[in-house]
């Protein structure tokens, strides 16, 4: 019936989005000059975020009255992107040879760790800001949504700051700094008795979570070299962490309460300290290192 058709359409769109992610991140890595990859990835993140914002606005305007237009528009936009990229010349990603496979899988460690921290922060903590605001601060649903919206807006320029940090400090060092900062800000958010301070902290947390994604992408590009196929594996692992984080947080909130669950999730971000400062030998030589 219609329900299954809609679910199938969503699955196809999700599959296509996954393909676009790997191709997009690989393109940034291939086109950016050494020493400017962070800023390039930051701009990529800004464009991605703005696209999501514009899409949300378009759905608000047209989605409820003409839901078919959403799917037609998605197909048309994909066609435009495909046509535009016929004019762009990029080096082909190297296929992973069988003898490289085991070493290649070993390269996933640091990118998945940084990407997992970003996913945990975004989907396991930031996603619960409205729930926390209603439950702990007695905000209305609209006011709570506004707090989250503000954090999303601030996260857009924060991606540019993340790009600058990557080029100055390196992707891994930047991830450690931002990750530990999120721990401090997250604890202020959930423990502050003053609502205004907690609200500001939640906005900062949301912006920092957004900044982690360009850092994870650069770590992945630097680790994988020209093995672009691993970017898809990296993204899949990141999304698995995102889904599991959201699910565990919901279960934990019911079992021990929302505040303790968010506290444990916030402290879990310290896993970013395990990101190694130096990488072992890689299967493909990257163009720059953090």
As for how many domains the chain has, the answer is: 1
**Residue 270 forms part of a structural domain:** yes
**Residue 288 forms part of a structural domain:** no
**Residue 126 forms part of a structural domain:** yes
Q: Identify the pLDDT of residue 130.
A: 92
Q: Identify the pLDDT of residue 288.
A: 41
Please tell me the pTM assigned to this model: 0.76
Q: Identify the pLDDT of residue 63.
A: 52
- Residues 197, 211: Cα–Cα separation, whole Å: 21
**Residue 282 forms part of a structural domain:** no
**Residue 265 forms part of a structural domain:** yes
| Domain carrying residue 260 | 1-275
CATH number, position 208: 1.20.1250.20
**Residue 267 forms part of a structural domain:** yes
**Residue 68 forms part of a structural domain:** yes
Residues 6+ apart with CB under 8 A from 219: 110, 111, 114, 115, 171, 172, 175, 275, 290
Which residues in the chain land under pLDDT 50?
280-290
Q: Which own/partner pairs from 140-149 qualify as long-range (CB within 8 Å, at least 24 positions apart)?
A: 147/199, 147/202, 147/203, 148/202, 148/206
**Residue 5 forms part of a structural domain:** yes
Residue 285 structure tokens? 């030589």
């Amino acid at each position: 019936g219609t329900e299954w058709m809609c679910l199938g359409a969503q699955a196809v769109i999700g599959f296509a989005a996954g393909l676009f992610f790997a191709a997009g991140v690989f393109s940034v890595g291939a086109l950016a000059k050494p020493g400017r990859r962070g800023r390039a990835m930051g701009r990529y993140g800004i464009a991605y975020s703005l696209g999501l914002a514009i899409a949300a606005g378009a759905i608000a305007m047209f989605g409820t009255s003409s839901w078919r237009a959403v799917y037609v528009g998605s197909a048309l936009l994909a066609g435009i992107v495909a046509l535009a990229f016929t004019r762009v010349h990029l080096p082909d990603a190297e296929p992973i040879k069988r003898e490289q496979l085991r070493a290649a899988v070993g390269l996933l460690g640091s990118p998945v760790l940084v990407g997992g921290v970003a996913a945990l922060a975004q989907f396991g903590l930031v996603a619960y800001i409205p729930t926390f605001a209603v439950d702990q601060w007695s905000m209305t649903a609209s006011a709570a949504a506004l707090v989250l919206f503000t954090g999303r807006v601030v996260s857009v320029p924060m991606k540019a700051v993340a790009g600058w940090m990557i080029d100055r400090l390196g992707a891994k060092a930047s991830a450690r700094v931002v990750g530990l900062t999120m721990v401090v800000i997250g604890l202020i958010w959930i423990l502050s008795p003053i609502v205004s301070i907690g609200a500001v902290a939640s906005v900062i947390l949301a912006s920092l979570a957004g900044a982690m994604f360009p850092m994870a992408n650069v770590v992945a590009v630097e680790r994988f070299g020209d093995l672009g196929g691993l970017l898809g594996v990296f993204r899949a692992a990141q999304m698995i962490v995102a889904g599991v984080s959201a699910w565990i947080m919901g279960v934990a909130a019911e079992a021990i309460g929302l505040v303790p669950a968010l506290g444990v999730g916030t402290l879990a971000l310290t896993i970013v300290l395990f990101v190694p400062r130096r990488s072992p030998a890689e299967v493909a030589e990257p163009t720059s290192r953090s």
